Amino acid sequence: MKVSKTTTFDFAYPGSKKRLEYEHVPFSQYISAFVNPFSFLVMQAAVKERQASSKKYSDELDSILAQLQDLTVDSPTQKINDKIDEEVTSSTIKNEWHTNYSVQSRSQDIDTSEFDELFEKTKPVAVKEMVKPLTDTENKIIDEALSRKKSGTASQFKKVTVDYKDIHRLKPETWLNDEIINFYFELLSERQTREGFPSIHCFSSFFCSTLRDQGFAKVKRWTKRVDIFAKDLIFIPINQSYHWTLGVIDMKRKAVIVYDSMGGNHDHSLELFMNYLQQEHLDKKKSPLDTSDWKLETPKDIPQQGNMSDCGAFTCTFAERLSRNEPFNFSQRDMVPIRRRMVLDILNKTL
């Protein structure tokens, strides 16, 4: 049986741990040394050789440890600190340059209007209110209207009338009917006469269904007294399967658009309105309409409703914002105040 003994040397240095093992002379060689002198000499030579080798490895390890101690490594933190120092120094230089330049400009009467103009451009823009808040007096009027019995006329403007039973449809999570839609779009048409607003024409909620079901011949007289090609925007409220959307013909952009608060596609309606434009132009202008550069659009990056009942309020608000060249800065959470303001607008007969 061969017996062996192992001695372990541990050397530790930053970041790792190295273990070196040296196997001593087998015990059987010690026994044979007493029996055979020659074996003793061989064993002694082996021991000296191993000791020399061990010393050599030890010296090499000491050298490596010394090199590691002298080694300097730039840590990520140090690099970041150096970068910050560089940026601070650069910023300080820029500030000193601007200060010196400003002093020189004042002393030498140099025109600084360019700096003033740049400053105005970089001023933070005030965030506009998404929905104009109602006053206490306005809220009282609205509450009284919504709490009244459903009988009787609430408001009448030109040829459109809204009863209190229609006003009740402006309560939260209630579908809007044709009466509310048509009254509101009539108010939009009236407001466009004010200076600064785009010129618009609003069709009634029955235009799309009549055009779709009975054709151009049934609606061509609807524009007997208006030239839609002289307008900026044409609004067409669409009701399909109890869902309200807004059709828009943008004459300036040469685009036919359907705004849907549920993100649907409306290829049929877009083609329907495009064909209507061509027939209307041929009927009123006596010449074909060049549609080669017209676009058909159903925008998806617009406010979306979060229930199944606010499509009518979204449709009216889309039209209201477009009629003022304002962005769609509203969302589902604004529907209750928007509905309440619609009550007030209808009662006051103005937007």
Higher-confidence position of 313 and 106? 313
Q: Do 174 and 163 touch, CB atoms closer than 8 A? A: no
Which of 62-71, 85-94, 127-136, 191-200 shows the lowest per-residue confidence on average (mean pLDDT)?
85-94
Q: Over the stretch 42-77, which tens digit does the pLDDT of each residue have?
A: 455 554 665 665 566 567 667 766 665 665 545 444
Residue 208 is a catalytic residue: no
Q: Which of 201, 311, 316, 345 is flagged as catalytic?
A: 311
Q: Over the stretch 185-194, which tens digit does the pLDDT of each residue have?
A: 999 999 988 7
Buried (b) or exposed (e) across 70-91, using 16+ Cβ within 10 A?
Answer: eeeeeeeeeeeeeeeeeeeeee
Residue 290 is a catalytic residue: no
Which of 37-46, 163-172, 238-247, 250-259 shows the lowest per-residue confidence on average (mean pLDDT)?
37-46
Q: Is 60 exceeded by the pLDDT of residue 287?
A: yes
pLDDT of residue 20: 40
Q: Which of 24, 163, 168, 243 is flagged as catalytic?
A: 243
Q: Confidence band (pLDDT; 50, 70, 90) for 310?
A: very high
Residue 286 backbone phi and psi in degrees, to 5? 60, 30
Radius of gyration of the chain (CA): 43
Higher-confidence position of 289 and 19? 289
Q: Confidence band (pLDDT; 50, 70, 90) for 290?
A: very high
What average pLDDT score do residues 337-349 get?
A: 98
- How many other C-beta atoms can be found within 10 angstroms of the C-beta atom of residue 60? 10
What average pLDDT score do residues 190-213 get?
A: 93
Pairing of strands 255-259, 243-250: antiparallel
Bridge partner residues of 155 (DSSP): 162
Q: Is 70 exceeded by the pLDDT of residue 82?
A: no
Q: Do 341 and 132 touch, CB atoms closer than 8 A? A: yes
* CATH architecture of the domain with residue range 137-348: 3-Layer(aba) Sandwich (3.40)
Residue 260 is a catalytic residue: yes
Q: Do 235 and 191 touch, CB atoms closer than 8 A? A: no
Looking at this protein, which amino acid is placed at residue 32? S
Q: Which of 260, 266, 316, 345 is flagged as catalytic?
A: 260
Q: Is 80 exceeded by the pLDDT of residue 26?
A: no
Q: Is 70 exceeded by the pLDDT of residue 109?
A: no
